[in-house]
Amino acid sequence: MTRLLLPLEHGPQVVHTPTEDALLHGLKRLPRRVQQVFLLSRLDQLGIADIAARLDLPLLTVERHLFQALQSALPRGEPLASIAGQWYVRLQSPEATTCERIDFRRWLDAAPEHLQAFEQTELRWRSLLAPARQLGQDGGYRNGRAALSMGGCSIAVGLGVVALIAFGLLG
Q: Which of 16-30, 87-101, 136-150, 151-165 has the highest mean pLDDT?
A: 87-101
- Contacts (Cβ under 8 Å, ≥6 apart) of 37: 51, 55, 57, 62, 65, 66, 69
Looking at residue 78, what is its pLDDT? 87
Give, rounded to a whole angstrom, the gap between the first and last alpha carbons of the chain: 54
Domain boundaries, the chain: 20-142
Backbone angles phi, psi at 146, to 5 degrees: -65, 160
Running DSSP on this structure, what letter comes out for residue 44?
T
